[in-house]
Amino acid sequence: MSLSTAEGDAAASPAGTAEPGSAQRKQRTIARPAEVKGVGLHTGQETLVRVKPAEPGTGIVFVRTDIPGYARIQAHIRNLGTSQRRTVIRSGDAEVHTVEHLLSAAVGLGVDNLEVEIDGVEMPGLDGSARDFVELLQSAGIHEQDAPCEEIIVREPLDVSADGASLIALPYPHGLRLSYTLDYPIPSMPSMYCSVELDPERYVNEVASARTFCLRREAEMLLAAGLGKGANTENTVVIGDDGEVEGELRFPDEPVRHKILDLIGDLGLAGAPVRAHI
């Protein structure tokens, strides 16, 4: 539940570019194919996803195996489509919806090159977090490749605001840090703040298992709009007007951790790992 085109326009103009001299590690892919099946959070349709190793420099490419000719869509900001409460990538008439959780798992684990085959329009929601995608990639084995990994380095402050939200990217020499303040203007949901210095271990322990969330009133609106057909209280944290939460939280601040999870996934559209404090 993430990027819209308004946010994407600003994100397409980073302060730094991917430079050979900025390489800090080698590129990574997976060692062998692996697959998972599940129902999309919005369409409610079941899809089979198969992840496969990819050559250095490939990036992450989604392949619609249900479309004649196997349409390929690069996970890149230039292919960002218009969406409501999910990140969509598009090439021609082919689309893949809700890609942010798989991309988040790949970025969090440092997987740069991947082919993702899917036999439908929406990625499975699974448990509503990135945990199952992390386990999928780990089960396939992380393989280091003989090619340097370039980075996008933010060299001066950047900021963008839209629809009541703001994002600031600051120079940060140590890697990628994400700090998020979630502040809904409703009394039932207190302000939450979380900051994470990203590495695979912290991602797995502090971010990956945070599930998507919505307010109960939003859930009703999504269903009326024909969305949220695959959502339930197991894969979505539903917060009532009185602050009551259906089910048990995995973290006291699970909603803001999920926002960080989504942001990490959307950074997977940048074309290279980002070095910044966002």
Model's pTM, two decimal places? 0.87
- Weakest-pLDDT range from 163-172, 239-248, 256-265: 239-248
pLDDT, mean of residues 263-270: 97
Structure confidence at residue 243 (pLDDT): 63
> Which amino acid type is present at position 187?
P
Structural domain total, the chain: 1
Residue range(s) defining the domain that contains residue 35: 1-278
Q: How many CA atoms lie within 13 A of 71 on its CB side?
A: 17
> Which amino acid type is present at position 270?
A
pLDDT, mean of residues 222-236: 67
pLDDT surpasses 60 at 143: yes
In CATH, what number is assigned to the domain containing residue 270? 3.30.230.20
- Weakest-pLDDT range from 201-205, 248-252, 262-266, 269-273: 248-252
pLDDT tens digits along 8-54? 333 333 444 444 444 469 999 999 999 999 998 878 899 999 999 99
Structure confidence at residue 5 (pLDDT): 33
Task: Please check whether residue 178 is in contact with residue 275, taking contact to mean a CB–CB distance below 8 angstroms.
Answer: no
CB count within 10 Å of CB 87 equals: 28
Task: Please check whether residue 140 is in contact with residue 111, taking contact to mean a CB–CB distance below 8 angstroms.
Answer: no
Structure confidence at residue 206 (pLDDT): 97
pLDDT band at 228; cut points 50, 70, 90 = low
Structure confidence at residue 184 (pLDDT): 77
pLDDT surpasses 70 at 201: yes
pLDDT band at 219; cut points 50, 70, 90 = low
DSSP state of 210: P
DSSP state of 231: -
- Distance, C-alpha 144 to centroid of its chain: 22
Report the relative pairing of strands 158-162 and 165-169 from DSSP bridges. antiparallel
pLDDT tens digits along 156-195? 999 999 888 899 999 999 999 999 999 876 776 788 999 9
Given CA atoms 231, 232, 233, 234 in this order, what sign does their dihedral have? negative
> Which amino acid type is present at position 135?
E
- Weakest-pLDDT range from 68-72, 117-121, 217-221, 237-241: 217-221
Structure confidence at residue 23 (pLDDT): 44
- Weakest-pLDDT range from 61-70, 74-83, 100-109, 257-266: 74-83
